[in-house]
């Protein structure tokens, strides 16, 4: 068999995996691979900071469901990527990150731009590799893609010593991957499914509590079928938004710290909680002993470590969400015990009760004359994009307002850093999504603080024609931290006032983008309309009511029924 270089082998592997776009930043350790990329048809997107490359790959992955790929050089290139790798890890996003490494003979010598990136990223990757033998390069890459995308997805890092990439090697044919030590359970146990379904029939006050797993496993159709079959209200985590249509009458929106009143009440009063692809995060449960205290709990998750980690589960189902939901749906379809009408009628009083809660305390805000309310901005965005844009967010109040007031009807429309809460995620993620779907409207809902963390990626967006729209909800504060200081620290605003902020309209111009500003409520709609109509990268700067808070709010460590309301 003829031999090829490591660089050629890597490009061939990318082709094999159907990768046409990668995000990266070059350096000495990966210069061979970059040389090879020039001759390949793989589109390389040159970011302005390695964190941006990995977030963009992550945004690409979240929007498409495919594996995102980033390429970084050794040392500082690799460490710059770590925050973004941890971001993908916390949200179980399938990406493969290639990092350059010094030649094998220099490893361990404190060589120039050497860092033990495999050691550094061990706790924030699903798995990682240092390729120490050229013979293992191809099989390692194939395994990495398989690991990233299968089971509970996640980031996988491959560290590539420069001399390994420069070596000559054969390119063996691809065989189906089988790993002795890794066999995710896809199919649910039929006995557990039957048990769960019987509990559903017994329940009077069931709630479906769904998380990112529903989106990752593309189970939204099966989930919607189940919810409607059982006439059961659905509440979603931040990561689960879009897993069930936000405008469906059974949708309660988000639960938890900034969840809707109806969501948190429904969970608290439920007698059956059906958790699907969610992990009982502390931002969701609040004080643990007061979370769903009367409920029997069914938990579907592909990752056994998620089950009974925080909350004792009565009926665990280890499986891929899609498979498990499909099995539940067919159990009901085949069962003589189930009658759609009877079940609908049986749950209707509960559905009415939940809707009553929603009417009593809907997600809302106080109008204040001319002043721009951030929630209003999101409402207008929602209306003008018909709820069908891809929304990325930064982190903080902007993120929560987007989650509360944009009505996500489809999965993969909200790309947000849920688990790690990484400021600076939204812009590069939007670029990744836009390059995957050039026709889609992609909007980064941003804060004035967060946007400055990866603002340099505006240049990347311009260079590749990623015409994303950035909507800055500008309160001149690190607003979410300020809100905590207001509520729990006697309004002592330590280090949350942004005394100097760039003029974002001028800044947009500096990057060759279009800058628009709205200072009053009337200006909001025209600005958004113009932004959507403009065939360019746009920054919208909304001067919002500065001390607006995100409500409802469950103070950290309190029961989720102890909500501070508007």
Partner 1 sequence: MKHTLSVLLQNKPGALSRVTGLFSGRGFNIESLCVAETLDPKVSCMTLVTRGDNSIVEQITKQLHKLIDVIKVTDITEGEFVEREMVLIRVKAEANTRAEVLRIIDIFRGKVVDVSPTTYTVEITGPESKVKAVIDILRPIGIKEIIRTGTIAMARAPKK
Question: Shortest Cβ distance from residue 126 to partner 1 (Å)?
Answer: 8
Give kind and range of the element (H or E) at residue 330.
helix 321-334
10 binds ligand TPP (CB under 6 A): no
The site partner of 229 among Mg ion, partner 1, ligand TPP, none (C-beta below 5 to 8 Å per kind) is: none
Interface region with partner 1, contact rule CB under 8 A, candidates 176-184, 353-361, 397-405, 547-555? 176-184
* Cβ proximity of 446 and 473 under 8 Å: yes
The site partner of 303 among Mg ion, partner 1, ligand TPP, none (C-beta below 5 to 8 Å per kind) is: partner 1
The site partner of 480 among ligand TPP, partner 1, Mg ion, none (C-beta below 5 to 8 Å per kind) is: ligand TPP
Maximum C-alpha span of the chain: 75
Among 398, 404, 409, 485, binds ligand TPP (CB under 6 A): 398
Task: Determine the Cα–Cα distance for residues 537 and 458; give it in Å rounded to an integer.
Answer: 8
* Cβ proximity of 545 and 482 under 8 Å: no
Question: Shortest Cβ distance from residue 369 to Mg ion (Å)?
Answer: 21
Half-sphere exposure of residue 160: CA atoms within 13 angstroms, side-chain side: 34
Parallel, antiparallel or unpaired: strands 127-130 and 155-161:
parallel
Distances (CA, A) of 109 to 74, 99, 116, 309: 14, 18, 11, 41
Among 480, 498, 553, 563, the one annotated catalytic: 480
- Token pair for residue 121? 């990223």
Q: Which is nearer to ligand TPP, 224 or 475 (CB)?
A: 475
Residue 316's DSSP bridge partners are 299
For this structure, is 405 an active site residue?
Answer: no
The site partner of 204 among ligand TPP, Mg ion, partner 1, none (C-beta below 5 to 8 Å per kind) is: none
The site partner of 395 among ligand TPP, Mg ion, partner 1, none (C-beta below 5 to 8 Å per kind) is: ligand TPP
The site partner of 423 among Mg ion, partner 1, ligand TPP, none (C-beta below 5 to 8 Å per kind) is: ligand TPP
**Applying CB under 8 A, what is the total number of residues that bind partner 1?**
19
Q: Which is nearer to partner 1, 136 or 562 (CB)?
A: 136
Q: Which is nearer to ligand TPP, 5 or 80 (CB)?
A: 80
Question: Shortest Cβ distance from residue 147 to partner 1 (Å)?
Answer: 7
Q: Is 141 helix (H, G, I), strand (E, B) or coil?
A: helix
Residues numbered 18-37 forming contacts with ligand TPP, rule: CB under 6 A: none
Pattern of binders to ligand TPP over 87-126, x per CB under 6 A?
----------------------------------------
Task: Determine the Cα–Cα distance for residues 73 and 51; give it in Å rounded to an integer.
Answer: 12
478 binds ligand TPP (CB under 6 A): yes
Q: Which is nearer to ligand TPP, 277 or 447 (CB)?
A: 447
- Token pair for residue 304? 């056994």
Give me the phi and psi of 67, to 5 degrees please: -80, 130
Residue 71's DSSP bridge partners are 24, 98
For this structure, is 368 an active site residue?
Answer: no
Among 304, 349, 465, 512, binds partner 1 (CB under 8 A): 304
Among 159, 222, 448, 548, binds ligand TPP (CB under 6 A): 448
Question: Shortest Cβ distance from residue 478 to ligand TPP (Å)?
Answer: 4
Task: Determine the Cα–Cα distance for residues 425 and 76; give it in Å rounded to an integer.
Answer: 19
Question: Among 187, 229, 185, 184, which Cα is nearest to 208's?
Answer: 229
Question: Shortest Cβ distance from residue 237 to partner 1 (Å)?
Answer: 21
490 binds partner 1 (CB under 8 A): no
Cis omega (within 30 of 0) on the bond before 552? yes
455 binds ligand TPP (CB under 6 A): no
**Applying CB under 6 A, what is the total number of residues that bind ligand TPP?**
19
Interface region with ligand TPP, contact rule CB under 6 A, candidates 223-231, 429-437, 447-455, 510-518? 447-455
Distances (CA, A) of 203 to 33, 232, 313: 58, 10, 16
For this structure, is 456 an active site residue?
Answer: no
User: For residue 211, how far is the Cα from the chain centroid?
Assistant: 11
* Cβ proximity of 324 and 188 under 8 Å: yes
Residues numbered 255-284 forming contacts with partner 1, rule: CB under 8 A: none
Q: Cα angle at 37 between 36 and 38, to 5 degrees?
A: 90
Residues numbered 423-482 forming contacts with Mg ion, rule: CB under 5 A: 447-449, 475, 477, 479
Q: For 191, which DSSP code?
A: H
Q: Under 8 Å CB-to-CB from 333, ≥6 apart: which residues?
A: none
Question: Shortest Cβ distance from residue 367 to ligand TPP (Å)?
Answer: 19
65 binds ligand TPP (CB under 6 A): no
117 Rama class: left (phi>0) / alpha (psi -120 to 50) / beta: alpha
Task: Determine the Cα–Cα distance for residues 279 and 225; give it in Å rounded to an integer.
Answer: 22
b/e map of 306-330 (b: 16 or more CB within 10 Å)?
Answer: bbeeebebebbbbbbbbbbbbbbbe
Interface region with ligand TPP, contact rule CB under 6 A, candidates 269-277, 382-390, 394-402, 518-526? 394-402
- Token pair for residue 363? 């997600």
Q: Is 380 helix (H, G, I), strand (E, B) or coil?
A: helix
Q: Under 8 Å CB-to-CB from 489, ≥6 apart: which residues?
A: none
The site partner of 421 among ligand TPP, partner 1, Mg ion, none (C-beta below 5 to 8 Å per kind) is: ligand TPP
Residues numbered 212-231 forming contacts with Mg ion, rule: CB under 5 A: none
477 binds ligand TPP (CB under 6 A): yes
For this structure, is 113 an active site residue?
Answer: yes
For this structure, is 162 an active site residue?
Answer: yes
303 binds partner 1 (CB under 8 A): yes
Among 1, 38, 110, 181, binds partner 1 (CB under 8 A): 181
Helices and strands (H, E) in the chain, number of each type: 22, 20
Provide the binding-site residues for ligand TPP, judged by CB under 6 A. 394-398, 421-423, 447-450, 473, 475, 477-481
Provide the binding-site residues for partner 1, judged by CB under 8 A. 118-119, 122-123, 126-127, 130, 132, 147, 179-182, 303-305, 308-309, 312
Catalytic residue numbers? Answer: 50, 112-113, 162, 480
């Amino acid at each position: 068999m003829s031999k090829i270089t490591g660089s050629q082998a890597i490009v061939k592997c990318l082709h094999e995996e159907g990768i046409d776009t990668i995000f990266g930043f070059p350096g000495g350790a990966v210069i061979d691979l970059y040389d090879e990329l020039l001759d390949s048809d793989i589109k390389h997107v040159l970011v302005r900071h390695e964190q941006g490359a990995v977030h963009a790959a992550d945004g690409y992955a979240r929007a498409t469901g495919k594996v995102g790929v980033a390429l970084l050089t050794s040392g500082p290139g690799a460490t710059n990527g770590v925050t973004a790798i941890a971001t993908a890890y916390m949200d179980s996003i399938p990406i493969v990150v290639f990092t350059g490494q010094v030649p094998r003979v220099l490893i361990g010598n404190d060589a120039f731009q050497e860092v033990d990136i495999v050691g550094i990223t061990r706790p924030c990757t699903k798995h990682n590799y240092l390729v120490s033998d050229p013979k293992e390069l191809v099989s390692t890459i194939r395994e990495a893609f398989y690991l990233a995308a299968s089971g509970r997805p996640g980031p996988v890092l491959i560290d590539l010593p420069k001399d390994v990439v420069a070596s000559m090697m054969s390119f063996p044919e691809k065989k189906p991957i089988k790993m002795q030590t890794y066999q995710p359970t896809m199919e649910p146990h039929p006995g557990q499914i039957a048990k769960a379904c019987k509990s559903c029939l017994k329940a009077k006050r069931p709630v479906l509590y769904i998380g990112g797993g529903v989106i990752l496993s593309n189970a939204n159709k099966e989930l919607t079928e189940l919810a409607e079959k059982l006439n059961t209200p659905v509440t979603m985590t931040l990561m689960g938004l879009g897993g069930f249509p936000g405008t469906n009458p059974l949708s309660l929106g988000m639960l938890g710290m900034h969840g809707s009143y109806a969501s948190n009440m429904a969970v608290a009063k439920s007698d059956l909680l059906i958790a699907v692809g969610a992990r009982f995060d502390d931002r969701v449960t609040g004080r643990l002993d007061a979370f769903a205290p009367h409920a029997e709990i069914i938990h579907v998750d592909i990752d056994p470590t998620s089950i009974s980690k925080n909350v004792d589960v009565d009926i665990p189902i280890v499986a891929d969400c899609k498979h498990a939901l499909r099995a539940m749906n067919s159990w009901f379809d085949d069962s003589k015990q189930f009658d759609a009408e009877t079940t609908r009628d049986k749950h209707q009083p509960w559905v009415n009760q939940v809707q009553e809660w929603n009417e009593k305390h809907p997600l809302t805000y106080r109008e204040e004359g001319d002043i721009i309310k951030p929630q209003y901005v999101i409402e207008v965005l929602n209306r003008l994009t018909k709820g069908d844009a891809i929304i990325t967010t930064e982190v903080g109040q902007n993120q929560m307002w987007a989650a509360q007031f944009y009505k996500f009807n489809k999965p993969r429309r909200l790309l947000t850093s849920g688990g790690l809460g990484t400021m600076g995620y939204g812009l590069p993620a939007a670029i990744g999504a836009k390059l995957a779907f050039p026709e889609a409207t992609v909007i980064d809902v941003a804060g004035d603080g967060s946007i400055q963390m990866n603002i340099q990626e505006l240049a990347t967006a311009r260079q590749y024609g990623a015409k994303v729209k950035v909507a800055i909800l500008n309160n001149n504060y690190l607003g979410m931290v300020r809100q905590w200081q207001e509520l729990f620290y006697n309004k002592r605003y330590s280090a949350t006032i942004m005394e100097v902020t760039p003029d974002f309209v001028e800044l947009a111009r500096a990057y060759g983008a279009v800058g628009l500003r709205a200072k009053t409520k009337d200006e909001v709609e025209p600005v958004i309309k113009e932004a959507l109509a403009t065939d360019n990268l746009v920054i919208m700067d909304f001067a919002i009511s500065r001390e607006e808070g995100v409500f409802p709010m469950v103070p950290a460590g309190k029961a989720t029924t102890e909500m501070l309301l508007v």
